[in-house]
Amino acid sequence: METRTRLGLLLTCAAVLGAGPAAAQGKTAAAPAATATPETIARGDTLFHKSGLCFACHGTNAEGGVGPNLTDADWIHGDGSLEMIVATVTKGIPKEAAKSKIAMPAKGGSSISDEEVKAVAAYVWSLSHK
């Protein structure tokens, strides 16, 4: 019994210690600013190709179609920073502001959440920041 309790205590300590860095990371992810962690990028990849509808205009490899190439260093609507991409995807681009005179609907016309916009933006950002 005594040994069991000690082992239990030891395991609890190990769990708490192990959770330390993970808990700290969770805090960062919950911060208001978007972050490009491998997890958000992977999530954004799926969103880009599925419910976010981005692939429909930017192509499956994001190299362009109706919408511009998102994998190079050329940005029409800002500096290509993560914040700029989040803002652009959130608001969309009105026809008048579009270089191609083709509008991009807010969130690509999809119904993804604000949290998902941050993830898809992290994925797009990662394409030109390798």
One of 120, 122, 126, 127 touching ligand HEC (CB under 6 A): 120
Is 113 a binder of ligand HEC (CB under 6 A)? no
Q: Contact between 58 and ligand HEC (CB under 6 A)?
A: yes
Interface with ligand HEC, residue 118, by CB under 6 A: no
Query: Looking at 43, 107, 122, 127, which residue binds ligand HEC (CB under 6 A)?
Result: 107
Closer residue to ligand HEC (CB): 100 or 113: 100
Burial grade of 55 (CB within 10 A; 0-12, 13-18, 19 or more): middle
Radius of gyration of the chain (CA): 20
Contact 101, 95 (CB under 8 A): yes
What's the Cα-to-Cα distance from 106 to each of 8, 19, 94, 109, rounded to whole Å? 52, 38, 9, 6
Q: Which stretch binds ligand HEC (CB under 6 A): 2-10, 17-25, 30-38, 68-76?
A: 68-76
Residues 88 and 78: their CA atoms lie apart, in Å, by 9
Record the tokens describing residue 92, joined without a space: 């969309």
Binding range to ligand HEC, per CB under 6 A, among 3-11, 12-20, 34-42, 82-90: 82-90
C-alpha–C-alpha distance, residues 118 and 53, integer Å: 15
| Residues at the site binding ligand HEC, with contacts judged by CB under 6 A | 52-54, 56-58, 66-68, 70, 75-78, 85, 88-89, 93, 98-100, 102, 104-105, 107-110, 120, 124
